[in-house]
Structure 1
């Protein structure tokens, strides 16, 4: 029985890993589709697409899948699939927490219904466009391992007109990373400078950052907010979720 139980646990664990990998593949593939649709289908001339492809390769997505996603975005794919678009959603979580979301979808009604159901389940409210967007600013964020030569690293950051940077700890990897903040229009330039200087970039993307934060001190409220955030991030169409709370 012990052997059977162990095998069953292994199968369940593998199923969870495969499911999570499938969600990641789908999410990044949609990002490639939208990037190719909004700009050139050539990564050399489309920074957003180049970034999405880099993310796809880091996640282990096969080249065939990447090429298919680019073809769908460019309109040259003859297989199945509708028109994909990026939509922003806004709402409030427990305690008046502001939540800003971006989804990539081929079915607006399905996506809105899924998001509304998550808000209703965890005491939140899906709001109208613009209700919380003014509480956030978009910035370019780059993360990379802590460089050995800080002086040389700072010179590159100055060339790229960096706003600021800070050290963060990746608890899963157990290593210190540098999070670099730059104006959205400067993200491509700074990423290129860091790449040319040989720095291994973990991620380079646009993020919505709150202008101010709400302090959450009640444990029950904190649990509801975290459950709501998890539920939103787990939605198939969701790309990014930003909120302005601090625990």
Structure 2
């Protein structure tokens, strides 16, 4: 599972999140719409509760959140969005899973295929790389506030499987079905996570040299610029030299 958070840390260091606030709101709204299809009450819908928490974490206005919920439940028009996952290969032979939410699958697959091809990668058939990843609940905590042992002790009752230190954060992993219980365990203990999501975690990672890592970063940035792309998962381990270069 090593390297899972490095892309998030790279984004943070480059200041990309704040620079794309409007685009982030669009992606969050789609996430809420899809979640609300399972019911508009967050108390009864864990996925919606998580989507709302993530939206509030980036300061998405409450009226936009409410509108997205109503679109998902069908109270308002605009909720005709489907979830799709594209699989393929990127620079350095790394495996990619691209999660998208779209109202036009033909448009989205064409955009993703074009970007992969332009970066020297390729689109693959369904199932070609999915087996390289595990679906997990992933929670991040500040390494300055908490220790691995502390988080593991609290999380065990909630189904936590593994705890890993990664840069300035500590990542906690659990099975998807235990995600709500794990979050509840930390909340009841007064331990606050910096982020929490259901994600695809690579079973093993591919070590990249700096040139290949830079090409992969460029590809991932281009994919993230697509309004339909929600999340990108890779089995790459970004080299420490690149991290140090960006810090400098």
Report the TM-score, using the length of structure 1 for normalisation: 0.83
CA 1:42–1:222: 2 relative to 1, 3 Å: same
Q: What is the aligned counterpart of 1:155 among 137, 153, 156?
A: 153
CA 1:177–1:222: 2 relative to 1, 3 Å: closer
| Contact 2:40–2:73, Cα closer than 8 Å, also in 1 | yes
Query: Where in structure 2 are there 5+ consecutive unaligned residues?
Result: 1-15, 240-248
CA 1:150–1:133: 2 relative to 1, 3 Å: closer
Could you say which structure has the greater relative contact order, defined with CA pairs below 8 angstroms and 6 or more residues apart? 2
Cα distance in 2 for residues equivalent to 1:28 and 1:198: 26
Cα distance in 1 for residues equivalent to 2:80 and 2:125: 23
Query: Where in structure 1 are there 5+ consecutive unaligned residues?
Result: 1-15, 170-175
Report the TM-score, using the length of structure 2 for normalisation: 0.83
- Does residue 74 (structure 1) correspond to residue 73 (structure 2)? The answer is yes
Corresponding residue pairs, total: 222
Cα distance in 2 for residues equivalent to 1:150 and 1:239: 29
Superposed CA deviations along residues 104-124 of structure 1, whole A, max 9, x for unmatched, are 111111111111111121111
Matches within 5 A, 1:84-233: 84-146=81-143, 147=145, 153-169=151-167, 176-217=168-209, 219-233=210-224
Query: In angstroms, what is the RMSD of aligned CA positions?
Result: 2.0
What residue number does 1:3 align with? none
Cα distance in 2 for residues equivalent to 1:152 and 1:97: 34
Cα distance in 1 for residues equivalent to 2:19 and 2:170: 30
CA 1:221–1:58: 2 relative to 1, 3 Å: closer
CA 1:145–1:223: 2 relative to 1, 3 Å: closer
